[in-house]
Amino acid sequence: KSLVAVESAPERASRAHLLESVRVFSIERAREQGTWDSCRRSHLQWVDEFTTRTVGPHGHDDCEVVDPLADLDREGNEIRAALEWTEGDPERSLTVCARLVNWWRGRDMAAYAIERFEELLRVSGALDPEVRGEALTTLVLMRRIAGFDAARTNELASDVRRLIDEMAEGSERDRLELRYYESAFDVGDMELPARVRAIIDRTQARGEPVDTLATHLLSAWLVANDPPSATSVAEEGLSLSQSATLARQAHAWEQNALAALAAGDLPRAQHFLEGALGRFEGIGQRFCSVHGCESVAWWLALQGLHDQSRALLAATEGLRARHHRYRSGFEEPAVVATIALLGERPDPDSYALLDTTIAAALDYIGDVTHRVGLGAGSED
């Protein structure tokens, strides 16, 4: 009792803590006796296993966890401590780091993740191509989120492309290629549809389940370039997502909403927007609410509710400025269409530093979404 403190909470299992003075003393003794590295390896192994259970082996919504980000938050100190140990197993650490892609961007830790990736890559020797490719694609995505030097980011993306081209054909190459297109998504890439469709065809030929990211990419590209074709691809993604996780289903609903908006089918758009926002809230991925609200703004603008749409856009622009969030190629088509309908772009700088204005706009989001039926979402 004099060495260990127990923390109890009704919503989670009890936690045991060493008193700080005891912990420091124990670490010193472990180093003196040569057991400290063994402790760190065991700790990293535990973090590896825990994150695999929580978000899946590749971290792209592969596990049916209701609120995976909350589970990661509870073990955040453990995760960071493991990833900051660079003398041990950089390959395993890089695998864990890449697996946490949604945690990094969902909790505004892109800059921290970039630091860990670059340090682990610096101290690592020869890496398995799949591990290196996964790490680099996630690093590219994080750099885009944080707005880091574009030239260097593009160099890294080119490195990933070369690495993929050198890999043997198979499911791992196809999976990594999809991650590459996600990290370097470009609505102007006219070869994207054919390449992604080829991945889908190869996956089905192998008798494997199709990664719903493939239809997500296709649908997002078509919304920007060929709206009439977007609906069928979005429906294909919705069908594939029925056997997938809640997160994959939420993204599929969002793509169907965007496709419906592009087609001008407002009732269908409302239905899928409501379902998408409710599902994102249900799984704790609140970072998706930013581009979800932008989709709502598009929907409102199409109905002529320009004041409401402006309020939503102003709030999301302010949130991006405050939290350093980026706008991906997936979100841009909806925002551009909204601005075109409004005839002007809200000035993000005028809202970025005005906390009271942002707070008022956010309150208005809740009021508007309640009045137009975009609240908790439906499960049917």
Query: Is the torsion defined by CA of 263, 268, 274, 276 positive or negative?
Result: negative
Report how far residue 112's alpha carbon sits from residue 135's, in angstroms, rounded to the nearest whole number. Answer: 14
Shortest CA distance to 337 belongs to which of 313, 358, 320?
313
Q: What is the mean pLDDT of the chain?
A: 79
The more confidently predicted of residues 206 and 320 is 206
Average pLDDT for residues 169-187, to the nearest whole number?
89
pLDDT of 350:
39
CA 213 to each of CA 174, 200, 233: distance values in angstroms, whole numbers, following the listed order: 11, 10, 12
Report how far residue 212's alpha carbon sits from residue 244's, in angstroms, rounded to the nearest whole number. Answer: 8
What is the token pair recorded at 366? Answer: 């809740």
The more confidently predicted of residues 212 and 83 is 83
Q: How many helices (H) and strands (E) does the chain have?
A: 20, 2
Shortest CA distance to 309 belongs to which of 320, 295, 323, 319?
295
pLDDT at 51 > cutoff 90? yes
Report how far residue 172's alpha carbon sits from residue 130's, in angstroms, rounded to the nearest whole number. Answer: 7
Contacts of 51 (CB under 8 A, 6+ apart): 59, 72, 79, 96, 99, 100
Secondary structure (DSSP) of 178-208 = HHHHHHT--TT-TTHHHHHHHHHHHHHHTTP
